[in-house]
Amino acid sequence: MAKAIFGYMNGPDPRAVANVAADNRRLRDRVADLEALVSRLQQENDALAAAAMDASTLLSVPEQMQPA
């Protein structure tokens, strides 16, 4: 019983706390990397969408040149 009380009073295992802190740091870094990737892909998508809109006006045939 004394060992259980003594263990309870000492708090959590420092190794477990260090592991959780390391996991949190690793996950935060991964989330930051993924957010940067999403941002880059959104910018590329916007640029491609704008280029597609410009290309569609260049590829269209004017009304007066349509076959009768």
pLDDT tens, residue order, the chain (68 aa): 566 655 566 667 778 889 999 999 999 999 999 999 999 999 999 999 888 877 666 666 666 666 66
Residue 60 has a pLDDT of 66
CA–chain centroid gap for 34, Å, is 3
pLDDT at 59: 62
Total number of residues shown for the chain: 68
User: How far, CA to CA in Å, does 40 sit from each of 1, 11, 37?
Assistant: 58, 44, 5
Q: What's the rounded Cα separation, in Å, for the pair 62 and 60?
A: 6
What pLDDT is recorded for position 12? 73
For residue 42, the model assigns a pLDDT of: 97
Take residue 65 and report the two structure tokens written for it: 């040149």
